[in-house]
């Protein structure tokens, strides 16, 4: 509800939000007025603007790029000054820098990098604006490949039945979607307003626009046009089939190439999401110890770096990779009202999930008392009270407690392993139970609809065969259920036949009517589009409808062939990332905890007393370095901080790689994501707990030998 209405105020008119393309066009036009460009223009930019149909002169893009580079250079200049002040003037002082500036300029590479920031910012601003139309055109074309192939198939289907370009373009635009369908629809509009004299002119222009990015679509459109020159239907069919076959092969090769190019970025995502944190979890504590840097060992910094900054970096990188995925097929999204009593199912799932979480937390506390080293156990073994042990742990730097504190640290591991593990397993188990209970029925409905989508092509072929025999529509629909009795699509066809025969309504109303339509509430774009083509074909008459449905069945099989090839290619990458998120990353990061414990324990046990002597201090002053104070730094970063921060990151990276693998393979499949997410989190949490605890026990056993 509008806030102005809630407060009793008169609502103000809202300004229409401009798209990014409109903002880009306006920016370049304003730049062209202030700084007109008169030089040469890259043909790639002109082709991109023509394909996008942006009302913008190519020279204006160059003007916008120069202006953007100027703004970026100014921003880089201020950033450069700020960094030079923070890293040089604030550290060395202005007087020292002015005394010998050439030494600083010639020997310090970081200073040179800061000075070059304005040039770097200028290049980034200039080329980002200059390449924007080219990258946008390529992105639109790549994402429209499969929809364009489907629209071209509808075009060929119509041309086989009625050899008329205007009729074919109209049929293709009514049932197709995407950039290619929009360009075809503009041909009809330009014919109506008199911009074009014939449909052939518009088709030639569309072929030219696509020709720069896709030779197969260009040749297909030319062959479709040339098919009109053939008087015999057989020869015309051969030309149309070859046009569609060439386009299908070209699209398939392009999709396979796009899928292959996703492999290396996916491997890089593993390095960013798993390998880089693995190194940081080992090196940062060591660096903090040797540098005596309290910032690096601060728990807030550790959690902020490992559990906020790095997951965000990996997430945006994963989103970028997914954006390069070609748009082919997305499973149907099931709304809440499609499942009976869904609100009750969801509430029941919440209750069970909370119960499971509380049970695991309770068991974690029991195991904590049994297996973890607690204050009570330390007090009992040292012959002191728990209050005395807590006092020692709270004041480790006091002289009277230093020896006792060192004894506790070296002989007792106070990390609450079982409590921390139980928290992670409880959260993941609760999510697993909730997702499993709340979305199992939705997943079942989704699979049923996907099964009907897969069965439709066979049902259409049976329907075309019966109509080709001269049977009426009702009998042909009933024959589908007789020939495919065990399929769900046959039951759907049987209900359509019943509506047509008993209710006396048209097939269009029997399918799409809000009251009687069998497809009205089924959330499947693919089925809706396919049935729209079926209804249009049936309206042509029995003989033409049979031919049209045969062509539709062949087209659906061709699409399925392309989809299977693409899924097979993407499935390899998706499966690899799923395994890494569920098994590899938790195990590797779990072992990291033991490695970190070994390294920090070794540093803790070293004798640095010799480094604190007068001679060592004198050498340190001459070298202008500070002697490390390992023990004081280690005390400020307890083991549980690393254990908890790594555990949080394990759950985050498992969720991220699951999201990546599901969306890469199936597109925006929310139901598939949540059903796999719960299982992935539970497996990752258990493997992390087992791997880290087993590694720590193994290291402790080896150290005791």
Does 8 have pLDDT greater than 60?
A: no
Does 629 have pLDDT greater than 50?
A: no
**pLDDT confidence of residue 701:** 73
pLDDT digits (tens, 9 = 90+) for 541-561: 777 778 888 888 888 888 788
**pLDDT confidence of residue 435:** 94
For residue 338, the 8-state DSSP code is G
For residue 35, the 8-state DSSP code is S
Does 4 have pLDDT greater than 50?
A: no
CB 470, CB 542: distance < 8 Å: yes
What is the spatial distance between Cα 459 and Cα 483, in angstroms, rounded to a whole number? 9
Q: At 467, is the secondary structure helix, strand, or coil?
A: helix
Q: At 178, is the secondary structure helix, strand, or coil?
A: coil
> Please, what is the average pLDDT of the chain?
82
**pLDDT confidence of residue 9:** 38
Residue 415 burial (C-beta neighbours within 10 Å; 0-12, 13-18, 19+): buried
Does 230 have pLDDT greater than 90?
A: no
**pLDDT confidence of residue 85:** 77
pLDDT digits (tens, 9 = 90+) for 198-211: 888 888 888 888 88
* Torsional class of 194: left (φ above 0), alpha (ψ -120 to 50), beta (otherwise): left
| pLDDT cut 90: percent of the chain above it | 21
Q: Which two tokens stand for residue 124?
A: 């980034």
What is the spatial distance between Cα 327 and Cα 334, in angstroms, rounded to a whole number? 20
Instruction: Label residues 456-495 b or e (16+ Cβ within 10 Å = b).
Output: bbbbbbbbbbbbbeebebbebbbbbbebbeebbbbbbbbb
Does 286 have pLDDT greater than 70?
A: no
| C-alpha of 655 from chain center | 11
Average pLDDT over residues 248-263: 84
Task: Give 633's pLDDT tier (boundaries 50, 70, 90).
Answer: very low
Average pLDDT over residues 255-279: 83
Helix axes 132-143, 43-52, angle to 10 degrees: 50
**pLDDT confidence of residue 423:** 95
Task: Give 504's pLDDT tier (boundaries 50, 70, 90).
Answer: confident
CB 661, CB 574: distance < 8 Å: yes
**pLDDT confidence of residue 420:** 94
pLDDT digits (tens, 9 = 90+) for 35-69: 898 888 888 998 889 888 898 999 999 999 999 99
Q: Which helix (H) or strand (E) holds 177?
A: none
Q: Which two tokens stand for residue 263?
A: 């492999």
Task: Give 275's pLDDT tier (boundaries 50, 70, 90).
Answer: confident
CB 591, CB 692: distance < 8 Å: yes
109 vs 477: which has the higher pLDDT = 477
Residue in 594, 595, 578, 593 with CA at minimum distance from that of residue 684 = 578
What is the spatial distance between Cα 677 and Cα 271, in angstroms, rounded to a whole number? 21
608 vs 182: which has the higher pLDDT = 182
pLDDT digits (tens, 9 = 90+) for 345-393: 999 999 999 999 999 999 999 998 888 888 888 888 787 888 878 887 7
**pLDDT confidence of residue 100:** 63
Count CB-CB contacts under 10 A for residue 316: 9
Q: At 516, is the secondary structure helix, strand, or coil?
A: coil
**pLDDT confidence of residue 386:** 80
**pLDDT confidence of residue 15:** 44
**pLDDT confidence of residue 98:** 62
Average pLDDT over residues 250-268: 84
pLDDT digits (tens, 9 = 90+) for 174-188: 888 888 899 899 999
Task: Give 7's pLDDT tier (boundaries 50, 70, 90).
Answer: very low
Q: How far are the Cα atoms of 161, 222, 232, 558 from residue 246, in angstroms, in the given order?
A: 20, 12, 22, 12
What is the spatial distance between Cα 597 and Cα 696, in angstroms, rounded to a whole number? 8
| C-alpha of 647 from chain center | 23
Length of the chain: 705
What is the spatial distance between Cα 668 and Cα 643, in angstroms, rounded to a whole number? 34
Q: At 217, is the secondary structure helix, strand, or coil?
A: helix
Residue in 419, 337, 426 with CA at minimum distance from that of residue 374 = 419
CB 176, CB 158: distance < 8 Å: no
What is the spatial distance between Cα 633 and Cα 297, in angstroms, rounded to a whole number? 7
Helix axes 145-161, 179-193, angle to 10 degrees: 50
Q: Which range scores top for mean pLDDT: 21-25, 291-295, 469-473?
A: 21-25
Q: Which two tokens stand for residue 323?
A: 């954006």
CB 45, CB 56: distance < 8 Å: no
Scan for tokens 């060592």, then name that residue: 616
Q: Which two tokens stand for residue 264?
A: 């290396």
Show the CA angle centred on residue 652, arms to residues 646 and 653, nearest 5°. Answer: 85
Average pLDDT over residues 530-537: 83
Average pLDDT over residues 397-401: 74
Residue 101 burial (C-beta neighbours within 10 Å; 0-12, 13-18, 19+): exposed
What is the spatial distance between Cα 112 and Cα 133, in angstroms, rounded to a whole number? 33
Q: At 15, is the secondary structure helix, strand, or coil?
A: coil
Does 1 have pLDDT greater than 50?
A: no
CB 179, CB 148: distance < 8 Å: yes
Residue in 379, 421, 430 with CA at minimum distance from that of residue 404 = 379
Q: How far are the Cα atoms of 143, 329, 587, 688 from residue 302, in angstroms, in the given order?
A: 40, 41, 21, 19
**pLDDT confidence of residue 684:** 95
pLDDT digits (tens, 9 = 90+) for 124-149: 999 999 999 998 888 888 888 888 88
Does 10 have pLDDT greater than 70?
A: no
Q: Which range scores top for mean pLDDT: 74-78, 403-407, 411-415, 582-586?
A: 74-78
Q: Which range scores top for mean pLDDT: 20-24, 299-303, 675-679?
A: 675-679
What is the spatial distance between Cα 73 and Cα 125, in angstroms, rounded to a whole number? 8
Long-range CB pairs of 277-281, under 8 A, 24+ apart, other chains included: 277/306, 277/310, 277/589, 277/649, 277/653, 278/588, 278/589, 278/592, 280/305, 280/306, 280/310, 281/306, 281/589, 281/592, 281/596, 281/642, 281/646
Domain boundaries, the chain: 21-139, 144-260, 375-413, 445-562
Among 145-154, 453-462, 547-556, the least confident range: 547-556
Does 218 have pLDDT greater than 80?
A: yes
Alpha-carbon Rg for the chain, nearest whole angstrom, is 34
**What pTM, to 2 d.p., does this model score?**
0.80
407 vs 17: which has the higher pLDDT = 407
**pLDDT confidence of residue 653:** 92
Q: How far are the Cα atoms of 309, 355, 362, 492 from residue 225, in angstroms, in the given order?
A: 56, 67, 74, 38
12: which residues sit within 8 A by CB, 6+ positions away? 4
What is the spatial distance between Cα 638 and Cα 600, in angstroms, rounded to a whole number? 11
Q: How far are the Cα atoms of 335, 347, 356, 432, 673 from residue 343, in angstroms, in the given order?
A: 12, 6, 20, 18, 20
């Amino acid at each position: 509800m509008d806030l102005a209405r809630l407060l009793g105020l008169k609502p103000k008119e809202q300004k229409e939000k401009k798209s990014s393309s409109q903002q880009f066009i306006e920016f370049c036009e304003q730049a062209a007025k202030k700084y007109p460009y008169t030089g040469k223009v890259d043909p790639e930019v002109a082709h991109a603007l023509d394909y996008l149909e942006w009302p913008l002169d190519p020279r204006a893009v160059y003007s916008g790029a120069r202006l953007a580079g100027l703004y970026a250079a100014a921003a880089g200049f201020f950033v450069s000054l700020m960094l030079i002040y923070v890293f040089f003037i604030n550290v060395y002082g202005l007087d020292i820098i002015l005394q010998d500036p050439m030494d600083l300029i010639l020997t310090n590479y970081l200073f040179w990098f800061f000075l070059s920031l304005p040039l770097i910012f200028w290049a980034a601003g200039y080329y980002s604006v200059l390449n924007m139309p080219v990258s946008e055109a390529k992105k639109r074309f790549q994402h429209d490949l499969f929809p364009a192939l489907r629209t071209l198939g509808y075009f060929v289907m119509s041309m086989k039945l009625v050899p008329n370009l205007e009729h074919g373009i109209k049929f293709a635009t009514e049932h197709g979607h995407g950039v290619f369908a929009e360009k075809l629809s503009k041909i009809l509009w330009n014919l109506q307003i008199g911009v074009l004299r014939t449909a052939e002119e518009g088709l030639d222009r569309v072929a030219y626009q696509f020709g720069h990015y896709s030779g197969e679509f260009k040749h297909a459109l030319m062959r479709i046009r040339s098919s009109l020159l053939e008087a015999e239907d057989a020869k015309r069919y051969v030309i149309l089939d070859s046009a569609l076959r060439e386009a299908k092969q070209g699209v398939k090769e392009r999709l396979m190439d796009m899928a292959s190019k996703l492999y290396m970025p996916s491997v890089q995502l593993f390095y960013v999401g798993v390998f880089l944190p693995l190194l940081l979890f080992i090196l940062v504590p060591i660096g903090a110890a040797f540098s005596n840097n309290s910032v690096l060992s601060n728990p807030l910094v550790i959690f902020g770096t490992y559990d906020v900054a790095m997951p965000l970096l990996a997430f945006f990188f994963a989103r970028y990779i997914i954006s390069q995925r070609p748009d082919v097929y997305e499973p149907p999204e099931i709304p809440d009202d499609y499942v009976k009593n869904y609100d009750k199912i969801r509430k029941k799932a919440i209750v069970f999930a909370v119960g499971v979480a509380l049970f695991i937390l309770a068991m974690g506390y029991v195991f904590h008392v049994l297996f973890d080293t607690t204050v009570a156990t330390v007090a009992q073994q040292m012959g002191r009270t728990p209050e005395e042990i807590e006092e020692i742990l709270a004041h480790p730097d006091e002289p009277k407690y230093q020896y006792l504190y060192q004894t506790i640290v070296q002989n007792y591991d106070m990390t609450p392993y079982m409590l921390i593990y139980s928290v992670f397993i409880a959260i993941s188990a609760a999510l697993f139970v909730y997702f499993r209970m709340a979305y199992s029925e939705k997943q079942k409905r989704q699979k049923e609809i996907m099964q009907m989508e897969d069965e439709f092509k066979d049902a259409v072929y049976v329907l075309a065969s019966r109509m080709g025999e001269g049977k009426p529509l009702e009998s042909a629909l009933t024959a589908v259920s007789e020939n495919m009795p065990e399929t769900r699509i046959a039951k759907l066809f049987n209900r359509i036949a019943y509506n047509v025969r008993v209710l006396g309504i048209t097939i269009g109303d029997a399918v799409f009517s809000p009251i009687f339509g069998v497809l009205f509430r089924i959330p499947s774009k693919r089925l809706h589009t396919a049935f729209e083509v079926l209804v249009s074909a049936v309206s042509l008459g029995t003989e033409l409808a049979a031919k049209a449905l045969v062509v539709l069945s062949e087209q659906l099989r061709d699409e399925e062939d392309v989809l299977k090839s693409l899924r097979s290619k993407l499935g390899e990458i998706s499966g690899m990332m799923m395994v890494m998120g569920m098994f590899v990353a938790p195990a590797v990061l779990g072992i990291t905890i033991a490695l970190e414990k070994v390294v920090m324990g070794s540093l803790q046990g070293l004798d640095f007393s010799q480094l604190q002597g007068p001679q060592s201090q004198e050498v340190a002053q001459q070298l202008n370095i500070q002697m490390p104070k390992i023990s004081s730094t280690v005390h400020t970063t307890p083991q549980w901080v690393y254990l908890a921060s790594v555990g949080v990151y394990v759950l985050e990276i498992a969720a991220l790689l699951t999201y990546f693998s599901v969306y890469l393979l199936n597109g925006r499949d929310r139901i598939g994501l949540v059903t796999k997410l719960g299982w992935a989190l539970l497996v990752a949490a258990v493997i992390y707990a087992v791997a880290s605890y087993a590694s720590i026990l193994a290291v402790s056993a080896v150290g005791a030998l």
